[in-house]
Structure formats: structure tokens, C-alpha cells
Chain A
Amino acid sequence: MRKYVYLVWISFQSLFEYRLNFFWRIAGTTIWTPVMYSLWVAILETGFGGDKYTPYTMGIYYIAISFATFFCQFNPHIIAMEIRRGAMSVDMLRPWSYFCKYFLLSVAEKVILFSLFVSLLFFFILGGKVAVIAEVGMLQFLVSIILAMFMGLFLSLILGGLAFWFKRIYGFASFYNTVGGLFTGTLIPTDLLPKDLLVVSAYLPFQYTYFTPVQFLLKSVSFWEAVRIYSIQISWIILGYLLAKYIWEKGLRGYEAAEAVV
């Protein structure tokens, strides 16, 4: 157990060693959020979506979506690079699970981001500026976003595991982002999609990664509806884990490292 605690400690050390790396990633999201908000305020002024969103709730939506995007994303290219460069062979000799290591090395970033976002929300709530969010909604959101984070983790492991067969995985990662972009709620709130696309979206995992957790902040959700959503997310997590495990077992069976970095 102590070895995993050390991994978390390494994660914090690495984050504070290159603080500006974290800043650059935040900066990109910081620019994207007000731009999407401005775009959607301009759209709402025309009447589209006005029955579901106001400029105020759209602002909360995009702040929360930006946080969810950042919090639930992992970088599969790190895995691909380690497989390609042979560093994976060294990791296989270590006395820890690679899945756990991959997750724990990103904990620092997620903890800092989580703290920033929750502080921001409390700041707005205490200032009386966010009347729409109830405490229950916050708790439901926190549970859902953590489940969404694990969905993102296993997806990243699946995409990264493709590097056992393909030298570059940029195409696959972008394919996921391209298809998911429409349904995750980043480009357009998912509930503003046409009915046909909404039906399709319900059977795909995308909306349960970003859009669904954010909805807990914007409207009151009953206990049983929340349970239904959590069950769907947990189902996708289990499916993701099984698929990742299968891909990695198959991949490692035939893995040969040409160059190992210690």
C-alpha cells in the first residue's frame, strides 16, 4: 500500500516541479470557456434553447463542463509513448499495477483542479450568486463526476493499449474526440440535440462523461433518477475495465521491447 502512497507523492512533486505545465493546460480551458459562453449567449438571444437555458445557467454549464472536461480526461499518449519506447517492459517488472500507477500519477492535478472548482462554486453560492444549485445537487454532481473520471480513465487505458499494435494512436484518440464531441455536451448542450440524436446518445457513453454530471448542478434530480444515472455510469466503468483488461492482456502477451529506459 505504501508504494501507491509514494506514487501519489511523486505525482504532487512532479506537478509542482513544472507548475507552468498545469497553468498552460488551465489557460487553454480558461480561454475556451468564455468563448463558448459568448457563442451560446449570442445563440440564446435568437431564442434557440431559451426554454432550457438562460445566459446565467449557460455560464454555470460551461464552467462546469470545462471542469468536467479537464477532470475526467487522461492522456493515452503517455501510455503509447511508454509502450513504443520500451519503458513498459520496466514497468512490468515493478511491484505495482500499471493501471494504478497511471491513475495515481495524475491524482495531484485532479486534486488541485477539484479544489479550485469546489472553491469557485462555494464562492458563488456564499455570494448568493448561484441560487440554482442545492447542496444535494452538489453532492450528486461530485459522485457523478468521480464516476465519470473512472470512465475516462479506462477509456484512456483502452486507447493507450492500442499502441501494442499501432505505432501511433493519434488517429484513434481523435476519432473518439470527433464522435464524442457532439454527444459529450462540449460543443452543444446534449439536451439541445434533435430527438433522434438524443436517442442515440442515450446508448453511448459520451453524455455520461461530461454532460450528465453537470446536469446535477443545473436542475433538481430525484433520488431514483440519480441512482439510475449512477448505475449506467458504473456499467460503463465495468465494461471499460473489462475491455481495457482484455486489450492489455492480449497486448502484453505479444509485447517485445526494442529499447528500455530505466
Chain B
Amino acid sequence: MSQWIYIGLFFFVGLLVPVGAITVAWILGPKKPNPIKQATYECGIETVGDSWVQFKAQYYIFALVFLVFDVETVFLFPWAVKLGELGMFAVVEGIIFILILIAGLVYTWRKGMLEWA
């Protein structure tokens, strides 16, 4: 438990440093708001159209595939820790697990889900 308090302290101090730096910058900097300065940057000219972009569905697909493989890899961590002591049986079990998921990856690949276009 004291370990996690240490990590909590790291989070706290880690947050303190950028907050402190940005606050110092906010205090020290001039404050002269001006609509042109505060306008959105678009290669130095006036913005064209809404600042809304058609979100490409492909990003979502990649995040989805990532999610499945993330969960799989996280499952493999306890397996990996005990691998040295458990012998061939555990190795084969883990390999079956990985192979089933590689089959899933191949399916996704063949269906063309991993293309960017």
C-alpha cells in the first residue's frame, strides 16, 4: 500500500510541475487580448468553413481492433509471469490463446478492415 502512496505522490508532484510552470507563465506574461491574435490559425489566412472535419470512420475501426488485442495482451501478462515454472502445458495453453486471436487478426485483415482508404 505504501507503494501506491508513492505513486500517488508522483502523480501529485508530476501535476504540480506543469501547473506551476504554466501559472508562472500566466503571471509573467503580458495580457493584451486582441481578436486577431485569438483567432484560429489556418496557414496565416482567414479560416474557411466550419472548424469541423468529417471524422474518418477508419479511426474508429483501428481503435476497435486495438481494444480487442489490448485485452488479449493484458490477459497474457499473468501467464508470462508464471511461464518459467509451469512447463510445457502452460506454454501450449498460451499458444492456443494467441493462435485463436491471430486467427481473428487474419479475419480482420482479409475482410479489408485494416486498409486506410
A, B: real partners: no
